[in-house]
Amino acid sequence: MKPGIHPDYHPVVFQDATTGTAFLTRSTATSTRTIDWETPQGTITCPLIVVEVSSDSHPFWTGTRRLLDTAGQVEKFRRRYGGQGR
């Protein structure tokens, strides 16, 4: 790798805004907010980035997916526009 062309890659804590769950990872993202994170080697201060959706609150990963009532939507469409068109 060429020196001096890559961004700073450092530990960052991402926190879900909905659930409050936080996790430590490495990223090039920066933030003015910081958090003290406990590691086996001791406490480190990391940038804190708050995200709206993570795997902890995303409907696909939590199993709370909302199924669309397609039959009801079709009936609503037919009631509204049923006799028109063809």
pLDDT at 33: 94
- E strand intervals along 21-69: 22-27, 34-39, 42-51
CA 43 to each of CA 22, 36, 46, 70, 74: distance values in angstroms, whole numbers, following the listed order:
15, 6, 10, 52, 57
Pick out the chain residues at pLDDT < 50: none
Task: Give the pLDDT score at 69.
Answer: 61
pTM, two decimal places: 0.64
Q: Would you state the pLDDT for residue 48?
A: 95
Q: In whole angstroms, what is the distance from residue 36 CA to residue 85 CA?
A: 64
Nearest CA to 46 out of 64, 32, 67 is that of: 32
- What pLDDT does 43 receive? 95
Position 65 scores a pLDDT of: 61
| pLDDT at site 59 | 66
The pLDDT value given to residue 28: 94
For residue 69 the two structure tokens come to 């009532």
